[in-house]
Amino acid sequence: MGDRAAVTGGPDRKGGRPAVEILAPPAAAVAVAGAAVTVAVAAAHIVPAATWLPRFRAVCFPRLAGLGRPDHVALTFDDGPDPGSTPQFLDALDRLGVRATFFVLGESAVRFPELTRDIAERGHELAVHGWTHSRPWVPAPGRDLRETARAVHALHGITGRRPTWYRPPYGILTGGRWAAARRLGLRPVLWTAWGRDWTVDATAASVRATVHADLRGGGTILLHDSDRASSPGCWHAALGALPGLITASRNAGWRVGPLHEHGIAHDDCPGAPDAEAARPEERTPVPGRPAPHPT
């Protein structure tokens, strides 16, 4: 019978005829079903990444975009901690009297635990940017969960406090990364304005102009305190832009601070916890370290 090999059951009760005839599916049908599964897996992986598009997420997922209180601007940094650059950002923020949210890589946090603790002890908020700055093109939900959990546990172990926020590398929130964040009680958040400070030709002036073009009250600024995943030395442009950005925001009547002060009460992600449920109120003391500076 070619592709349709017959398999017969035993005789029926009346006349000895086969009660059931089971036919194996044709090879073409198996191939079509396999292709359909592949397409479904790929869609589940990549469709959520459409939130990378700024206008789409601002309209359809405003909380994911980082839209909060209209009198506040959230200042965030990605890709650290980096001993060559992060301390300079911490000193500049101290001089400006501003606290921010640092989305750190777990691998770097473990490599530089003292610097990671210093970020928290100066009153800043630590958040998860992944374990490494990996590219998300191939679906790997198991890996996404393992690596995100590893970063969460690393930050908790170093600082005594579980992180609340998650921003995926490159801002590409695939299905696997979204699911991992939800399972770990993290709240994904991207940005409304960035400085393009990772490019080789970025300057303090270009970073300020690029941020200001999209910044409004309630917005979230994305900058980088490290050049680990970008052009060497480009962090100087972000550092140089900070005073002007803070001054302009204050002149517009906006308070600048971390995400936990931004007033994002609920998440757009279905099933994700709200901010108060996801953010622990108490910190676990870290032996041998002073209590973190209040934020």
153 is catalytic: no
Q: Which of 78, 79, 144, 267 is catalytic?
A: 78
Cβ-contact 132, 109 below 8 angstroms: no
224 is catalytic: yes
240: closest CA among 201, 191, 207, 192? 207
Q: Which of 224, 225, 262, 267 is catalytic?
A: 224
d(CA 224, CA 97): 19
The gap from C-alpha 171 to its chain's centroid, in whole angstroms, comes to 6
Cβ-contact 180, 45 below 8 angstroms: no
Catalytic residue numbers read 78, 224
